[in-house]
Amino acid sequence: MTYAIIVFLPLLGFLYAGLFGDNKEPRRAELVTTTFLGVSCFLSWLAFIAVAFSSDPQAYVVPLGNWISVGKLSVEWSLRIDTLTGVMLVVVTTVSMLVHMYSIGYMHEDESQPRFFAYLSLFTFAMLMLVTADNLVQMFFGWEGVGLASYLLIGFWYTRPSANAAAIKAFVVNRVGDFGFALGIFLLFRLTGSVSLEAARAAAPSLVGVNVHVFGMDLDALTITCLLLFMGAMGKSAQFLLHTWLPDAMEGPTPVSALIHAATMVTAGVFMVARLSFLFDLSPAALNFVLFIGGTTAFFAATIGLVQNDIKRVIAYSTCSQLGYMFVAEGVGAYGAGIFHLFTHAFFKALLFLGAGSVIHAMHHEQDMRRMGGLKDEIPFTFWMMMIGTLALTGVGLPFTTLGFGGYVSKDAIIEASYTAHGYVGAYAFLCVVIAAGMTSFYSWRLMFMTFYGRRGEWGGSYAEDMHDEHAHDEPQHEHTHAHAVHESPRVMLIPLGVLAFGATFAGVFFRHWFIGGGFEGFWKESLILAKGNHVLEQMEQVPWLVSFLPFLMMALGFVIAFYMYVVDKTVPAELARSNPLLYRFLLNKWYFDELYDFLFVRPAFWIGRVLWKGGDGAIIDGLGPDGVSARVLDVTRNVVRLQTGYVYHYAFAMLLGVAALATWYLFGGLR
């Protein structure tokens, strides 16, 4: 009963806020939804402790009812509770509850607060359905639910064209990945005769060496299944090639960014690969692909974060990069390390996003870091919270120990795990994550120095501002940003920052032994299944000392470079941009992926649409139908109607003409 309450309380909050919320009195909707999430969060922590200390290695299944029964397909609606579920319940409900509380202050001026809180609760419910799924169809239900909720939240300010465009982009790009995910589920059902996780796990070893006939070729069934499933993860978790929706998701309110990036939508792909570890671990080719995509994403997104000027976009590309780290861990078989980084990342990334929201709130909705600066003394609490988040993200800690902020403990473990991978793909991923660690440190400290140090607006009018920079701001902009005094956020927004800062500081130290240090069977039990030849956890403890020291070295190097460029000699960034214009434009315009996809997919799609519209529908269908035969019939009937004048002498004259014509025919033709 407890687990059902955890999952369905957010749904009740959504229904209450959506059906009974009053824009004139939004307080009730805010309190009800936030209270429900608070209860769900409290129960989730109890559930997490219960499953962590349980001596039963088997998952606890809570049946809710029969859902689908069609032929051989039987889908039960039930909740699967094990250690992996417990971790995700804690992550989702904790961050969501804090985002709900934060939004009370952040959205207090908005006229549609009940609708916003309803969407937040719907998002949380869909994610909880996903992480508690006992079969792939139920997981797909939650998977599509978070896609729907993200569309509603990203486009929350639907009167703005940019918000609508961003919501549609997120929805369409995710449908590409979801199509692959659905095909993977279909193929797994074809191979095993079931969509149940237990049935798939039991049948997985028997699938090794089995081939499927695809496009005239015999291909490994497990590899094709895993690649199709991972295609869904690439879309949801914004991996390389399917990442373009994530930065544009900043069009939604800042609390939405924190919820999407830290606890819900983007972590779904990482969770799914971990949940299906019993499949992926039997397919080395699929794991190599996961490793390659993860390493590429970690590096690629970090390069873009180097030059972004919108405070939220810097953090967004950081999220994309950190997700790459998680997939690198899963690609080498260190699923526990990947989930551990997901766990710590939820705290410090939600902290950074909500901290950025506090900065934006203080700056009266300004998001451009070039117009900030000198905020350290004006909003000191927000500054220190952002500082803690930055220390966690960049990986500050004591080398050769497990003492450090959350990102140091979990991210460094992934770098060590990537070193143990064999082959060219493993070496490539290792180099990517090491270099990305240095770039992460640089752009994170760049954000801190531009936002909180120096003078207000000293970066405005720089060479960077004269380049093509198509940032779309999240919040509605005000003309006189600096006409009002900068002020600290209200307490209801600061309390969540404090809670998240505590997690960002201590989550790594407290939970490392549980997640990756205390023996695999100890904590994860049977929620993560490794193949017999997977010894990555043991190999992580035997890497050379230089590998363990590299993350700290890259973190320090990134800090020193950022300090020199944005504190000591502030002319360096503009000079670098001016001397390397092609590279600067390339990074500023995000490797031109939007332009490339526009050329390859968007324009051809519009061309095909116009051809079908003008040529197919207009010329052929309308030409032969409404504008063709039907139009000619109407023309004939319209002319015939004109003959019906109602005058007797017109009809008498017509009859006379008929008689004359008949007589003429009879005299000249009929006599023959």
The mean pLDDT values, 10 residues at a time, for the chain of 672 residues are: 90 92 85 94 93 82 88 88 93 94 88 90 94 94 92 89 90 92 94 91 90 85 94 92 86 87 85 93 93 95 93 92 94 91 94 92 86 89 95 91 89 91 90 95 94 83 44 44 68 93 92 75 77 75 88 94 93 90 92 89 86 77 74 78 76 85 78 52
Distance between CA 175 and CA 143 in Å, rounded?
11
pLDDT score, position 86: 93
Distance between CA 143 and CA 127 in Å, rounded?
7
**Beta bridge partner(s), residue 35:** none
Q: Are strands 60-70 and 217-220 parallel, antiparallel or unpaired?
A: unpaired
**Residue 103 is encoded by which pair of tokens?**
């939004």
Q: Are strands 211-214 and 217-220 parallel, antiparallel or unpaired?
A: antiparallel
Q: State pTM to two decimals.
A: 0.88
pLDDT score, position 189: 93
Distance between CA 527 and CA 91 in Å, rounded?
17
Contact 368, 331 (CB under 8 A): no
Distance between CA 379 and CA 356 in Å, rounded?
12
CA distances from 658 to 235, 662, 663, 666 (A): 78, 6, 9, 12
pLDDT score, position 461: 46
Closest CA to 229 of 296, 293, 190, 280: 280
- The one-letter amino acid at 238: A
pLDDT score, position 226: 95
- The one-letter amino acid at 367: Q
Output b/e per residue, 105-126; b: 16+ Cβ within 10 A. bbbeebebbbbbbbbbbbbbbb
pLDDT score, position 519: 53
Query: How many alpha carbons lie under 13 Å from residue 173 in its C-beta half-sphere?
Result: 29
Write down the H helix ranges in 132-253.
136-154, 161-192, 197-203, 221-236, 245-248
pLDDT score, position 480: 42
pLDDT score, position 466: 42
Contact 77, 138 (CB under 8 A): yes
pLDDT score, position 521: 56
